[in-house]
Chains A and B, each alone.
Chain A
């Protein structure tokens, strides 16, 4: 479904990604794990066309994404829930959700998407008239994922949903991602919480200093000695 093939990405003169490649298959929950600064978010930004790779190709269902503008990528159904949630703080929860459905495809289903999101996250419905900036961290993450779902994603990309959340909420967030995925949404998640994210995913790859060093199924990686030593402290 999504093929990232040998991309090199630079910020100015500094190279961040070297020959990164992976594939997300239809219907799966794929996780890209790695330490802080490994280049995970950069990889997602490249898929969203927020930055252009210097080399390599990014294809979604056979179409080259790296030639498109960010809003065109969203129109193709590739929706990016950014790191740090990035809600519009002065707008209400409902306005934030409505902004998730700005493409023509998503606008047509706006009403039903909104009902679907409120059904998944009843707490958002209770707080729909509240400015998004006043929500708690966990609720903000729900709103961010909900806003992504409003775009009727064919591929949902979630960047570090557990960032800045209390450990008790991290589990909840992962079960939310799991639930969304069970609704039939192909999902690409980025995490530095290696143990929990490997446990919920179908397949994963490990990014280290801008290079893919390992890939396999979640269970394989959980039992890989290298992963256990470097990320799980075992």
Chain B
């Protein structure tokens, strides 16, 4: 029973971070109608930024959020503005070709980071990296618990932004009907860039929060792009609430897979769920929750 509860806790804590990654990709998916296959790589860049902040300036990873998130916001805006928006203007290309562009961007990000930092494994060891507290006999990693709290706060902020502000309404309007949004006087290209920036900043938050308990190497982006993809499909492509549910499901599935099947099968469990969702619940969790 203890093992079960312990796994549950680990899964939920990790799921909170996955939800952030998924919400970011979903935001991009909703507005651009493409899967951003550079999502994990953007997150990886944010992790390196956090590493540099910590290693060279002694900045705590949680404070580094204030650097990594704005930095990735700008990177996302730049990528949209200078690489993806021009593609949309070429009439001979289908909009889906943006997906290929994101694959290329992911490779470039990975190789630039490898060039600067080499392929060595790096890690950020803080005083609380290995610390834990106990409730009953269940241990909670201090770092992951704090990360989970911050992830919840960021998610709440995202919802407030989407529901209550003009920017959020504009983002949802562009997602639902781009041409009608333009007729409202919304600058559609700017909204696209902003949505990409926000999505990248959310991935950055997840990366930075994960770093105290994770190791870091340039190719770490790939697995996280796959996870983000699985979460987005689980959530039903474009549903933010669904993506948060998808993040939790994937976090739990990986935790239970690691505990009861074996550490090596962590990623496999996620992919099996992905296949099962495609086969049996192609509309994702959205179908169950209707939001």
Cβ of B1 within 8 Å of any chain A Cβ, yes or no, is no
Contact A95 B179 (CB under 8 A): no
The residue that B185 contacts in the complex, of A50, A89, A151, with Cβ under 8 A, is A151
Contact B173 A86 (CB under 8 A): no
* A88 in contact with B173 given A69-B187, A71-B188, A102-B166 (CB within 8 Å): yes
Contact A71 B187 (CB under 8 A): yes
Residue of A nearest to B190 (CB): A71
Q: Which of B178-199 contact A (CB under 8 A)?
A: 179-188
Contact A74 B176 (CB under 8 A): no
Cβ of A82 within 8 Å of any chain B Cβ, yes or no, is yes
Residue of B nearest to A48 (CB): B183
Which chain A residues border B227 with CB–CB below 8 Å? none
CB distance from A110 to the nearest CB of B (A): 10
Cβ of B14 within 8 Å of any chain A Cβ, yes or no, is no
Which chain A residues border B176 with CB–CB below 8 Å? 88-91
Chain B contact residues (Cβ within 8 angstroms of A): what range? 10 to 19
> In the complex, what distance in Å separates the CA atom of A103 from the CA atom of B170?
12
Contact A82 B172 (CB under 8 A): no
Residue of B nearest to A76 (CB): B185
The residue that B169 contacts in the complex, of A87, A91, A151, with Cβ under 8 A, is A91
> In the complex, what distance in Å separates the CA atom of A100 from the CA atom of B183?
9
The interface size of chain A toward B, counting residues with CB under 8 Å, comes to 26
Cβ of B177 within 8 Å of any chain A Cβ, yes or no, is yes
Contact B183 A91 (CB under 8 A): no
Residue of A nearest to B182 (CB): A70
Contact A74 B183 (CB under 8 A): yes
The residue that A90 contacts in the complex, of B172, B180, B184, with Cβ under 8 A, is B172
Contact B182 A71 (CB under 8 A): yes
> In the complex, what distance in Å separates the CA atom of A4 from the CA atom of B170?
30
What residues of chain B have their CB less than 8 Å away from a CB belonging to chain A?
166, 169-170, 172-173, 176-177, 179-188
Sample of 15 further A-B pairs with CB below 8 A, known A91-B172, A95-B169, A151-B185: A50-B182, A71-B185, A74-B185, A79-B183, A86-B183, A88-B173, A88-B176, A88-B177, A88-B180, A90-B172, A99-B184, A100-B184, A102-B186, A147-B184, A151-B184
What residues of chain A have their CB less than 8 Å away from a CB belonging to chain B?
48, 50, 69-71, 74-75, 79-80, 82, 86-91, 95, 98-100, 102-103, 106-107, 147, 151
